[in-house]
Amino acid sequence: MTEDPTPSSEERPAGAGQAATLEFREATKLYPSQDDPAVDHLSLSVPAGEICVLVGPSGCGKTTAMRMVNRMIDISDGDILLDGHSVKDRKPAALRREIGYAIQQIGLFPHLSIADNIGTVPKLLGWKRDRISARVDELLELVSLDPKETRDRYPAQLSGGQRQRVGVARALAVDPPLMLMDEPFGAIDPINRERLQNEFLRLQREIRKTIVFVTHDIDEAIKVGDKIAVLQKGGKLAQFASPAELLMYPASKFVEDFVGADRALKRLALQRVRDIDLWKPAKLRVGEPTAEARAKIADSDVPVPLLVDDADRPLGWLSDRALAGERVERDLRSPAEPIVEMDSILRDALADLLTGETRYGPVVDGRGAVQGVLSLEVISNFLHAAPTEARSGAELVQEEA
Partner 1 sequence: MRLALIAQSLAPPEKVSSCVRDDGFCPDWIVNHWDEYQSPFLEHVYLSAVTVAIGFVIAFGLALLAHRRRWLTGPIVGITGALYTIPSIAAFILLLPITGRGNTTALVALVAYTLLIIFRNVTTGLQNVPGEAVDAARGMGLTDRQLLWKVELPLALPEIFAGLRIAATTTIGLVALAYLAGAGGLGKQIAAQITFKSNVVFAGGLCVLLAAASDLLILGVQRLATPWQRAAR
CA distance to 235, 303, 344, per residue, from 356 (Å): 47, 18, 15
Binder to partner 1 among 110, 303, 366, 393 (CB under 8 A)? 110
- In the three-class reduction of DSSP (H, G, I as helix; E, B as strand; rest coil), residue 321 is classed as helix
Closest CA to 117 of 81, 145, 92: 145
Provide the pairing of β-strand 77-82 with 22-29.
antiparallel
Q: Restricting to residues 169-208, which ones interact with partner 1 according to CB under 8 A?
A: 170, 180
The region of 148-156, 202-210, 308-316, 336-344 touching partner 1 under the rule CB under 8 A is 148-156
> What is the rounded CA–CA span in Å between residue 129 and residue 250?
52
Residues 53-82 that bind partner 1 (CB under 8 A): 70, 72
**Residue with Cβ nearer partner 1 (155 or 281):** 155
In angstroms, the CA 204 to CA 99 distance is 16
> Nearer Cβ to partner 1, position 159 or 392?
159
Q: Are 319 and 294 in contact (CB under 8 A)?
A: no
Q: Tell me: does residue 95 bind partner 1 (CB under 8 A).
A: yes
Question: Rule CB under 8 A: is residue 6 a binding residue for partner 1?
Answer: no
Write down the least CB distance from residue 12 to partner 1, Å: 13
- Of these, 41, 85, 88, 153, which contacts partner 1 (CB under 8 A)? 153
Q: Does 14 bind partner 1 (CB under 8 A)?
A: no
Using the rule CB under 8 A, give the single segment among 79-87, 116-124, 206-214, 281-289 that binds partner 1.
116-124
Is 51 an interacting residue with respect to partner 1 (CB under 8 A)? no
State in angstroms the smallest separation of the CB of 106 from partner 1: 7
Residue whose C-alpha is closest to residue 218's, from 369, 343, 56, 99: 56
Kindly state the DSSP code that residue 272 receives in the 8-state scheme: B
| Backbone φ, ψ for residue 278 (5° rounding) | -95, 160
CA distances from 25 to 39, 43, 44, 83, 135 (A): 12, 5, 7, 13, 35
Nearer to partner 1, 156 or 311 (CB): 156
User: Could you tell me which stretch among 95-103, 127-135, 205-213, 247-255 binds partner 1 (CB under 8 A)?
Assistant: 95-103
For partner 1, the binding residue among 43, 86, 144, 157 (CB under 8 A) is 157
Cα(243)–Cα(228) distance, integer angstroms: 6
Tell whether residue 121 is a contact of partner 1 (CB under 8 A). Answer: yes
Residues of this chain that interact with partner 1 (CB under 8 A) are: 70, 72, 92-97, 101, 103, 105-112, 120-121, 124, 153-154, 156-157, 167, 170, 180
